[in-house]
Structure 1
Amino acid sequence: MPADQDCEQTTSITALKQRLKGIKSWVSRLANEIETLTAETATAVIVQVKEERLRAHFTKYEECLLQIISVDPSFDMDVTVEQKYMNSLVKIKQLLSNRELSKDEKPVSDPISRLPVNLPPINIPTFTGKYTEYKTFIGIFNAVVHKDKRLEKIQKFYYFQMFLQGEPYNLIKNLPMLESSYDEALKIIDERYNNEFKIKMEHLNLLLDIQPLTKTNAPILRQFVSTIKQQKAALKNLNIDIETCPMTLCVILRKLDALCSREFQLTLDTKEPSLSTLIEFLDKRALALENSTAAMQLTKPPPASSGFNHRGRENNASATALKAIEDPAPGVSCLLCAEHAT
């Protein structure tokens, strides 16, 4: 085996073993949590959610283990993981079969009420920790999940974790899968990212750091205007009105190219223009660029053909005939007088 291939295989096995270790810790932790559940303290929803998470992680554990064994057949498997998994499934079955599982459970005769409630098929954008996206994320989550009275808190907590990624998820990933953890998770994320001053600064930075217009065409100008509109609306929701702010207008004007800036100045009929005036001008300019580009494409002459067309053959034939009249070859009859050329 070549040295490079051997090195890559060693790196792959190392990465798989690290992943296996992480999954094993999740399975062990869930198994320990399930072991501490009792019929007096656990509800059916809690037990079902923990069972789903346990089965999902154990499936990942088996897949990772098979990959390692396929590369390294001598790998020593840890049988305690499977033992914990089986013991946990037995405990779950015992808890769910116990009629005294919880005092607030629905009667067994009502099977519909015992079915888990599924979220509607709405895609909530994943929150990755950007301050400018927190208000939008938490607003959508509250409307779709938090205010849904059909969902238990434990289910809301489960879905809340699903819509977090990166640092936000790491902040709450170690909370136990309990109903009380839902409120605690909301509080942790809100205290971390609901920083109004930081959010305002981020929106202002996005506006101030917008790329200058060095080459004006319709798509670039549309993107330029879209960024201004987005940040203007976001800042207005934060009670910051930049409509008539001279500093903001000055910064944006300096981002325009010389021709665009000069044309805007010529359109002004007031001494104090507003941001809306500039946006309206840029929208009209973008539309004009789009229309002129489309017109140029329609009036553009077709490319020259490399072959001979019908008119080209006619022209060539006329030129040949004219040459024969003016300079006939010796011994060839004249085409007009039918006499032999001398």
Structure 2
Amino acid sequence: INLFNSAIHENNTLTPVAKLQYLLSVLSNEPFNLIKSLPISDKNYEVAYNILKVRFLSQRHLTSLHLNKILDLPTIHHIAKQMRNFITIYSETTEALKGINTDITTNNSLLSAMLLRKMDSTLLKRFEHFQFSQTSTMQQPDEIIKFLSQECNEAKQAFLYSSSSSISKQPQSEYKKTSLMT
């Protein structure tokens, strides 16, 4: 929406009719269906824009969408791809929330507890043992994500090393390589 606002909505050189045509051209599915029956006219651009704004840009609606994404994150195991996907979704979602002035990552023990519950028992034991065995306070969400990122990198490295060692253990050809230069 920010891109549309800066390129079209706030562009004073475009007429409202042109803005409405641009708006219709970039929409699909439910947003398009909400305004497709409006006649193309100057006054209907603001009507269409406001319909979409009320329906899809309410702070409460956007906040709920993003929070549900975090709540619906799956349990993660000590697998690099799963951890990376988890971190990506978490990061995208928390940044989107910050974009609508809702920062849930600072001093949020509930979020920390929820993130810890998303870890399988092996990962949770590693977290408790290696990272915070000396600490009696609740870890911050960013500390948990940092731990997951480190674990992801270590798992990826371990996989690379195990892959390269399995390649080197392949049977050698029964023919000896000989030098053509003697």
TM-score, scaled to structure 2: 0.85
Structure 2 residue 22 is the aligned partner of structure 1 residue 143: no
Which one of 283, 288, 291 corresponds to residue 154 of structure 2? 288
Letter in 2 for 1:264: F
Equivalent residues of 1:242, 1:275 under 8 A apart: no
How many residue pairs match? The answer is 172
CA distance in 2, matches of 1:171, 1:205: 24
Equivalent residues of 1:208, 1:252 under 8 A apart: no
Structure 2 vs 1, CA of residues 310 and 194 (structure 1 numbering), >3 Å: closer, same or farther? closer
Equivalent residues of 2:112, 2:138 under 8 A apart: no
Letter in 1 for 2:171: A
Structure 2 residue 163 is the aligned partner of structure 1 residue 303: no
Which residue pairs with 1:105 in the alignment? Answer: none
Structure 2 residue 102 is the aligned partner of structure 1 residue 207: no
Letter in 2 for 1:287: N
Which residue pairs with 1:183 in the alignment? Answer: 46
Which one of 219, 223, 227 corresponds to residue 89 of structure 2? 227
Which runs of structure 2 are paired with 1:15-164 in the superposition (5 Å)? 138-164=1-27
Q: Structure 1: 5+ residue runs without aligned partners?
A: 1-137, 312-342
SS in 1 for 2:27: coil
CA distance in 2, matches of 1:210, 1:298: 32
Question: What is the percent sequence identity of the aligned residues?
Answer: 25
Which runs of structure 2 are paired with 1:301-340 in the superposition (5 Å)? 301-304=168-171, 308-310=174-176
Which one of 279, 283, 286 corresponds to residue 145 of structure 2? 279
After superposition, the C-alpha distances for 1:203-253 in whole angstroms (9 at most, x for unaligned) are 11110110111x422111100111111222222333333222222111111
- The runs of at least 4 aligned residues of structure 1 exceeding 6 Å deviation read none
Name the larger-Rg structure.
1
**1:279 Cα offset (Å):** 0.9
CA distance in 1, matches of 2:15, 2:102: 38
CA distance in 2, matches of 1:250, 1:278: 10
Q: Structure 2: 5+ residue runs without aligned partners?
A: 178-182
Between 1 and 2, higher relative CO (CA 8 Å, sep ≥ 6) is seen in 2
